[in-house]
Amino acid sequence: MDLENKRFLGKNRSADFIVKMESVENATFQGYIENIQSGQVQYFRSFMEMISLIQKKLDDNNFPQNTTVTRSWKTDQ
Tens-place pLDDT, residues 8-65: 444 444 568 899 999 988 888 899 999 888 888 999 999 999 988 888 888 887 776 6
Is pLDDT of 66 > 70? no
The better pLDDT of the pair 57, 7 is held by 57
Question: Is 68 within the bounds of a domain?
Answer: no
Residue 66 lies in a domain: no
Asked if the structure places residue 74 within a domain, the reply is no
Beta strands (DSSP E) in the chain are: 17-25, 28-35, 41-44
Q: pTM for this one? A: 0.60
In a domain, 67, yes or no: no
CA 28: distance to chain centroid?
17
Least Cα distance to 18 among 7, 5, 29 occurs for 7
How many domains, in total, are found in the chain? 1
Q: Which domain holds residue 47?
A: 3-60
Residue 73 lies in a domain: no
